[in-house]
Structure 1
Amino acid sequence: MSGDASAEPITKEAARLFAGRIWAELDMHRRRNLADQAGGFVRRFLQERSASGRVFLTAPIGDEIDLLSVMSALSCDLFLPVIRDSSMDFVAYREGHIIVPLRPGRFQIPEPQGTHIAVPDAGDLMFVPSLACNRHRFRLGRGGGFFDRYFAEHAQAKKCRKVSAMPVELIEIHFPEQSHDVKLDELVTDTGTVE
């Protein structure tokens, strides 16, 4: 399913099933490595800027890595999505020393109760949730299209650094990308960063 450029492409649905099995079987040691690698990546990102930066990410659901806990230990502003109907906005969760309470939102995903909406731009970092990606770095999401629509509706957000964290065996799944799919700039795996 991964790595072989000559392999027949699989459907996105088949890729989601395959990736779902890998995520479900990922042991705690590898999950911890993945979270540590993501934390190290953000620390380097912040050092490059010599100041606090803005990080856009999601609260974890299901088998996802809890990047929010990792990022909460770092000195950066954090923004989480709030879903409204079929679209979403990013709202400040932590800005400076102010932390906004979270509440269960749509799909029971924790969302900040604040009202300060921000759109990522050049110089910002976004961890885009992904089950997997293909060899061209197009992400495979859960199929809801929220991030695809977000980037289509917010042109300036395309300038941010788009990163995803996933097990190394899911970085080259052979599925066809579509014109609306989000292309990742970098990948963080449990074995390191792929640029």
Structure 2
Amino acid sequence: MFDKQALRLKMETLREQLNPGQKARLDALICRELQQLVEERKFTSVHTFLPMGTEVDLYPFISYLLAMEIPVFCPKTLPKRQLEHLRLHSLERLEAGLFGTRHPEASPDKLDAYDLIIVPGLAFDQHNHRLGYGGGYYDIFLGEQPGAYKVGVGYPFQLIQDLPLEAHDIPLDKVIC
């Protein structure tokens, strides 16, 4: 029997134990690969999470997108497994959200579909499946975005052989670890 909670705890612990220098190097490599992906595929809109805690530091990549004037949207976590998607205009204008998250200030700008979606996760497998935090927020959101290119980001130890699948799981197009 696969214990998702035990794996989540293990991955969170491993992230907390990651050497700060090594984390910074891996974060930079991941941001560089994301930037190359945007340039190669000519994405014109990006949806990304704003990292918290020990998640991959995507702020350099987000700064690049803003400098290139590529529209960036970020989730605002709402009750009942819902996300509101807000346009990010500045990293200096963020608000605190549920579960320690942060999100952009409310904006009238909306998009119904995104070219690229950057997805957080605690574990990923060789088939591009992800293990999230258990709230189901991204499972619902990714199911509503069939045309988007979906990328999970994490550290090398977060890539494992196989994750168990459930009917609602949406595979990613790529995992960068």
Assess same fold via TM > 0.5: yes
In the alignment, the residues of structure 1 paired with residue 116 and residue 8 of structure 2 have an alpha-carbon distance, to the nearest angstrom, of 25
**Are the equivalent residues in 2 in contact too, given 1:137–1:184 (CA < 8 A)?**
yes
Deviation, structure 1 residue 62: 1.9
User: Which residue of the partner structure matches residue 44 of structure 1?
Assistant: 36
Deviation, structure 1 residue 33: 2.5
User: Which residue of the partner structure matches residue 60 of structure 1?
Assistant: 51
Unaligned runs of 5+ in 1: 1-8, 190-195
Cα shift readout 1:137-187 (whole Å, capped 9, x = no counterpart): 2101011111012223x2xx1221111111112212543121112312111
Task: Indicate yes or no: 2:8 matched with 1:16.
Answer: yes
Unaligned runs of 5+ in 2: none
Q: Which amino acid aligns with 2:39?
A: Q
User: Which residue of the partner structure matches residue 138 of structure 1?
Assistant: 129
**Are the equivalent residues in 2 in contact too, given 1:133–1:172 (CA < 8 A)?**
yes
* Pairing 1:114-153 to 2, within 5 Å after superposition: 114-121=107-114, 124-152=115-143
User: Which residue of the partner structure matches residue 164 of structure 1?
Assistant: 152
Query: Which of 96, 102, 105 does residue 97 from structure 2 map onto?
Result: 105
Q: Which has the higher contact order (CA 8 A, sep 6+)?
A: 1
Deviation, structure 1 residue 107: 2.2
Q: Which amino acid aligns with 1:116?
A: D
**Are the equivalent residues in 2 in contact too, given 1:134–1:174 (CA < 8 A)?**
yes
Instruction: Mark the CA change 1:119 to 1:23 in structure 2 (over 3 Å): closer, same or farther.
Output: farther
**Cα RMSD, aligned residues only:** 2.2
In the alignment, the residues of structure 2 paired with residue 173 and residue 16 of structure 1 have an alpha-carbon distance, to the nearest angstrom, of 15
In the alignment, the residues of structure 2 paired with residue 99 and residue 131 of structure 1 have an alpha-carbon distance, to the nearest angstrom, of 24
TM-score normalized with structure 2 length: 0.85
Number of aligned residues: 172
TM-score normalized with structure 1 length: 0.78
Task: Indicate yes or no: 2:174 matched with 1:181.
Answer: no
In the alignment, the residues of structure 2 paired with residue 168 and residue 73 of structure 1 have an alpha-carbon distance, to the nearest angstrom, of 24
Percent identity, please: 25
In the alignment, the residues of structure 2 paired with residue 103 and residue 184 of structure 1 have an alpha-carbon distance, to the nearest angstrom, of 28
Deviation, structure 1 residue 112: 1.2
Query: Which of 74, 78, 90 does residue 72 from structure 2 map onto?
Result: 78
**Are the equivalent residues in 2 in contact too, given 1:148–1:182 (CA < 8 A)?**
yes
Task: Indicate yes or no: 2:84 matched with 1:89.
Answer: yes
In the alignment, the residues of structure 2 paired with residue 139 and residue 93 of structure 1 have an alpha-carbon distance, to the nearest angstrom, of 25
SS in 1 for 2:160: coil
User: Which residue of the partner structure matches residue 3 of structure 1?
Assistant: none
Q: Could you list the structure 1 runs, at least 4 aligned residues long, displaced by more than 3 angstroms after superposition.
A: none
In the alignment, the residues of structure 1 paired with residue 164 and residue 10 of structure 2 have an alpha-carbon distance, to the nearest angstrom, of 15
